[in-house]
Chain A
Amino acid sequence: MRYLPHTEEDIEEMLKTVGVANLDDLYAAIPPDCGSKRELRLPPALTEWELDSHMAGLAAKMAASSEYKVFIGAGSYEHYIPESVVQLLARSEFVTAYTPYQPEMSQGTLQAIYEYQTLVARFLGMEAANASMYDGASALAEALLMSIRISRKNTVALARTVHPAYRKVVQTYFSSTNYRVVEVPYLGNGGIDLSVLPAQGDLAAVAVQSPNFFGCVEDLKRIGEAAHEAGALLVVCFSEPLAYGLLKNPGSQGADIVCGEGQSFGIPQSFGGPGLGMFASNMKFVRNMPGRLVGLSKDRNARRGFVLTLATREQHIRREKATSNICTNGSLCALAAAMYLASAGGTGLRELAELNHDKSEYLKFELTRAGVNLPFSAPTFNEFVAEFPAGFASTHERLVKKKIVAGLPLAAFYPELENHYLLCVTETRSKTDMDLLVREVRP
């Protein structure tokens, strides 16, 4: 087998050095009742060529995006990825390297992640970003735990318009603790209803998503003021970071912790994972932050370099008192995001964000013109909710056969939103695609 270099001769020599007669004797210490009583029942090993064929067969049973027009976002976004990013990310010095605990041999990773931290902090308007979490959902859970640690209060308010999966993950992280989550409902315009906050008592944080799951832009400044007045931190999360290429960033609106999903920046959708948990806060809270941090330093010859720092927060030192249990994170995905942002640049990102927004506005306009109701009046970025007539499910299915996926039905997540669909338009959907969709769905 090409991954196993040992020849019969190698094995014989090594067994002699070790002082055992055969490979099985290496396992002499294993009690027989722990042992496998039979050979592993696995399919016969495939050659590389058989594997190619098998995997191509499985991949063919997927709605490959070039044929299909998928109008869904909801936490996973179809964006173009430059080939330069794909090739750079494939460099095996990045791919096959370990966590940079030995800085002298890992300056590539360390400088790249320091750059990532800087770009993310600037982009979100915060003072410090970490080296990544697993995804937007777990990043939000960790942000709420961080706010609880900082404030020493045990209740958080979480908007119902935060991504349903993120809320479920928060609930799971909280399920074995005494911490409480209070749900904040939404208003008719699609934004959060702040009026419930004063009655909630002592809150560690108020957490909202913007743009929210309905695609609506929340009034972060007003929410921040209400949160701070209630003595709570403002946690802002997102699932589509490209929105901040256009909108005012959360830091400028008073956010204390910002977290979310970074998949839009150069990471393939890949059926939902791996993603990129972006996480940022301000220096006054830095010792409470989870995850790795890369810092600037010098070597003995005053040469600039980078190291992992403030590691005393982490599990390998602080163990049960650590700020989080995270070890392996989303590093290569963070690298992809940094490469993507470096390639787009500030102006390029603004143009891309405007294009996403304007295309989505076009679809909204055309659908409205065709008689489709868009229930939420708040401004949106590249996603919005449309209310289709009863029985739209069969239209949706008919369209799937035509290789169009016309949005995500919301009823499973919001029972009050029967026949409501969440639609997304990115730069990858053309005017022609949208005109076809409108033609097919007009009531």
Chain B
Amino acid sequence: MKEFPGDTGLILNEPLLWEKGRRGRCGMSLPRRDVQPSPLPDDLIGEVPDLPELSEVEVVRHYTRLSTWNFGVDTGMYPLGSCTMKYNPKTNEKQAALPGFAGAHPFLPARLAQGALTLMYELELLLAEITGMDAVSLQPAAGAQGELTGMLILHAYHRNSGSPRTKIIVPDTAHGTNPASAALCGFYPVNVRSNEQGILAPEAIAAVMDEDVAGIMITNPNTLGLFEENIRQIAEIIHRKGGLVYCDGANMNAVMGTVHSGDSGIDVQHLNLHKTFSTPHGSGGPGSGPVCVRKDLEPFLPVPRVIRQGDEFALSDDFPFSIGKLHAFYGNFGVLVKAYSYILSMGAELKTASSYAVLNANYVKEKLKDVLHLPYDRPCMHECVFSDRFQKEWKVSTLDMVKRLMDYGFHPPTIYFPLVVPGAIMIEPTETESKEDLDLFIDAIRSIVREAESKPELITEAPKRCRVGRMDETEAARHPCLTG
């Protein structure tokens, strides 16, 4: 049998930046001075910044060592549900770093920025094609900002039609950013429960839909990994009372080339380029959250927009119904380059990628459902959700089990989300994991389940092979120390 990725090895120590270095050191080549000093009046000048002084070697060793304490997709499997931790292609990084792109000022005259403007215009068309929507804005800097953009579009649409509305329907399986974005926009979230099959029932929506509801925020496939089969009826119920359907596209990786958002009844949708479109997560960001809309909502999109003028492209603010601006410039262009490169590299294979993602999730589900409790035993999309119900008798929780998974060399899946499944374990393998790696992951989980019964202390004391063990999060919250 193959070995698990997790083993023991040399773990390096590394102090904080200000615990090393010495006054007088510098890690940067300071540019040559070719002008005379021109001092400011004394009363404007501040103290020399209180920053540590290190040599280049010290800085390089510092961050090299810190990086060895991390686990990335390049290190191993990262099955975080709803995060789509797929492989981040290296060629994408190269394209974003091209000096023509990386060194470009956003206020260059349009004539000097045709490469970037062409890329943005084409990316909008590609994303419109992939989602089946009509118009796109690349401006939002992340999924949550895309959601806010969507909410602002709903708000503007209703205000414009003379019927401002105050409420928005949010399913109990929604990601926390959904109600938070709605609230930022001044909407009051109306909670609605999923049914026993784990999806939304039209009757439940009809019960809360009225002329004060701006619309619904739906994630499809939802965070249980299930396709919202009733989406068209739900859309009709919303539309009949003048509302709009917003789709959180975080789970788009399941359905590229298979589902047409426009036909499903969706009016506004955001995408996460750092999920579905392979741009790296960067330890927490930056991402990008483009928003796609149906034709009649196009006038509300943020400005500026990329427009075509003959053979050339330019930026235009001339959209009087636009909701305004969310980003200082045009969005996270450096991230857009990576998503564009990915789409051009995959072409129609995007559909294949989605089907492999769904295959992988179903495979893992079938191979683990005898050892982990599966609350919804039906075909899933690109992710599956288990719970820790079977392990309760040995007093082993979801948290304990995933901490032990680290010792085997895997990043934990998403835990305790969605909230509708107590002790939830949400596994999204993505399409870039091979069958061998999936089998190793499955074996690791099965081994942990056996340990839960026979040697629970291995689990409750895990992880043992990381730089640190379980941290005291209580003390960190009671007496926060945020600077050193």
B35, B80, B100, B105: residue with the most chain A Cβ atoms closer than 10 Å: B105
A-contacting residues, B440-484, CB 8 Å: 463, 466-473, 475-477, 480-484
CB pair A134–B40 under 8 Å, yes or no, is: no
A-contacting residues, B347-373, CB 8 Å: 347-353, 355-356, 358-360, 362-363, 366-367
Measured CB to CB, the closest approach of chain A to B408, in angstroms, equals 12
Partner of A30, one of B23, B141, B259, B403: B259
- The docked-state distance in angstroms from the alpha carbon of A96 to that of B108 is 31
CB pair A48–B345 under 8 Å, yes or no, is: yes
CB pair B26–A325 under 8 Å, yes or no, is: no
B35, B255, B258, B367: residue with the most chain A Cβ atoms closer than 10 Å: B35
Q: Which of B82-90, B237-245, B290-298, B386-394 contacts A (4 or more CB under 8 A)?
A: B82-90
Partner of A320, one of B183, B260, B272, B329: B183
B-side contacts of A331, CB under 8 Å = 282-286
A-side contacts of B287, CB under 8 Å = 328
Q: Which of A60-68, A153-161, A182-190, A195-203 contacts B (4 or more CB under 8 A)?
A: A60-68
Does B420 touch A at the CB level, under 8 Å?
no
Measured CB to CB, the closest approach of chain B to A330, in angstroms, equals 5
CB-based nearest A residue for B323: A172
Partner of B328, one of A137, A171, A335: A137
Does A6 touch B at the CB level, under 8 Å?
yes
B-side contacts of A348, CB under 8 Å = 26-28, 30, 53
CB pair B348–A45 under 8 Å, yes or no, is: yes
User: Chain A 139-183, CB within 8 Å of chain B: the 1/0 string?
Assistant: 000000100000000000000000101101101110111100000
CB pair B83–A98 under 8 Å, yes or no, is: yes
Does A417 touch B at the CB level, under 8 Å?
no
User: Chain A 74-88, CB within 8 Å of chain B: the 1/0 string?
Assistant: 111010101010001
CB pair B345–A341 under 8 Å, yes or no, is: no
B-contacting residues, A63-113, CB 8 Å: 63-66, 68, 70, 72, 74-76, 78, 80, 82, 84, 88, 90-100, 102-109, 111-113
- The docked-state distance in angstroms from the alpha carbon of A247 to that of B341 is 42
Partner of A118, one of B18, B101, B264, B282: B18
What is the number of residues of chain B that contact chain A, defined by CB distance less than 8 Å? 200
- The docked-state distance in angstroms from the alpha carbon of A28 to that of B226 is 12
CB-based nearest A residue for B303: A168
A-side contacts of B52, CB under 8 Å = 342, 345-346
Partner of A65, one of B36, B99, B326: B99
CB pair A97–B106 under 8 Å, yes or no, is: no
Given contacts A27-B258, A123-B51, A134-B145, whether A270 and B334 have CB atoms under 8 Å apart is: yes
Measured CB to CB, the closest approach of chain A to B222, in angstroms, equals 12
User: Chain A 240-281, CB within 8 Å of chain B: the 1/0 string?
Assistant: 000011111100100000000100000011111111000000
Measured CB to CB, the closest approach of chain B to A342, in angstroms, equals 5
CB-based nearest A residue for B164: A176
A-contacting residues, B103-146, CB 8 Å: 103-109, 111-116, 118-119, 126, 129-130, 132, 141-145
- The docked-state distance in angstroms from the alpha carbon of A72 to that of B28 is 24
CB pair A82–B28 under 8 Å, yes or no, is: yes
A-contacting residues, B299-327, CB 8 Å: 302, 323-327
A-side contacts of B477, CB under 8 Å = 295, 309-312
CB pair B282–A332 under 8 Å, yes or no, is: yes
CB-based nearest A residue for B278: A3
Measured CB to CB, the closest approach of chain B to A202, in angstroms, equals 21
CB pair B106–A272 under 8 Å, yes or no, is: yes
CB pair A320–B182 under 8 Å, yes or no, is: yes
Measured CB to CB, the closest approach of chain A to B427, in angstroms, equals 14
B-side contacts of A408, CB under 8 Å = 107
A-side contacts of B325, CB under 8 Å = 137, 165, 168-169, 171-172
- The docked-state distance in angstroms from the alpha carbon of A60 to that of B27 is 33
User: Chain B 262-279, CB within 8 Å of chain A: the 1/0 string?
Assistant: 011000000010100010
B-side contacts of A284, CB under 8 Å = none
Measured CB to CB, the closest approach of chain B to A360, in angstroms, equals 9
CB-based nearest B residue for A42: B347
B50, B93, B476, B482: residue with the most chain A Cβ atoms closer than 10 Å: B482
User: Chain A 418-430, CB within 8 Å of chain B: the 1/0 string?
Assistant: 0000000001101
Measured CB to CB, the closest approach of chain A to B477, in angstroms, equals 5
- The docked-state distance in angstroms from the alpha carbon of A283 to that of B481 is 10
A-side contacts of B175, CB under 8 Å = 316, 327
- The docked-state distance in angstroms from the alpha carbon of A359 to that of B101 is 26
- The docked-state distance in angstroms from the alpha carbon of A158 to that of B281 is 34
CB pair B366–A18 under 8 Å, yes or no, is: yes
CB-based nearest B residue for A275: B328
CB pair B472–A59 under 8 Å, yes or no, is: no
CB-based nearest A residue for B346: A45
Q: Which of A228-236, A286-294, A368-376, A384-392 contacts B (4 or more CB under 8 A)?
A: A286-294
Does B62 touch A at the CB level, under 8 Å?
yes
Measured CB to CB, the closest approach of chain A to B80, in angstroms, equals 6
Given contacts A62-B114, A400-B109, whether A96 and B281 have CB atoms under 8 Å apart is: yes
CB pair A51–B184 under 8 Å, yes or no, is: no
Given contacts A76-B106, A82-B27, A325-B144, whether A45 and B344 have CB atoms under 8 Å apart is: yes
Does A54 touch B at the CB level, under 8 Å?
yes
CB pair B91–A52 under 8 Å, yes or no, is: yes
Partner of B324, one of A34, A172, A286: A172
Does A301 touch B at the CB level, under 8 Å?
yes
- The docked-state distance in angstroms from the alpha carbon of A84 to that of B88 is 22
Does A321 touch B at the CB level, under 8 Å?
yes
Partner of B72, one of A23, A59, A96, A270: A96
CB pair B411–A98 under 8 Å, yes or no, is: yes
Partner of B27, one of A55, A134, A330, A345: A345
- The docked-state distance in angstroms from the alpha carbon of A338 to that of B24 is 19
Given contacts A93-B71, A329-B285, whether A400 and B107 have CB atoms under 8 Å apart is: no
B-contacting residues, A280-326, CB 8 Å: 283, 286, 292-301, 303, 305-307, 309-312, 314-322, 324-326
User: Chain B 40-72, CB within 8 Å of chain A: the 1/0 string?
Assistant: 110011101111111010011011101111111
CB pair A344–B468 under 8 Å, yes or no, is: no
User: Chain B 17-37, CB within 8 Å of chain A: the 1/0 string?
Assistant: 110010111111111011111
CB pair A58–B283 under 8 Å, yes or no, is: no
Measured CB to CB, the closest approach of chain B to A218, in angstroms, equals 11
CB pair B330–A271 under 8 Å, yes or no, is: yes
CB pair A75–B329 under 8 Å, yes or no, is: yes
Measured CB to CB, the closest approach of chain B to A149, in angstroms, equals 12
Does A416 touch B at the CB level, under 8 Å?
no
CB pair A94–B72 under 8 Å, yes or no, is: yes
CB pair A51–B91 under 8 Å, yes or no, is: yes
Partner of B142, one of A261, A300, A328: A328
| 9 A-B interface contacts by CB (under 8 A) | A11-B356, A76-B106, A95-B280, A113-B284, A118-B16, A134-B145, A269-B104, A271-B106, A328-B289
The 9 closest A-B pairs by CB, nearest first: A272-B329, A59-B100, A332-B282, A272-B106, A45-B347, A172-B324, A331-B284, A96-B72, A345-B53
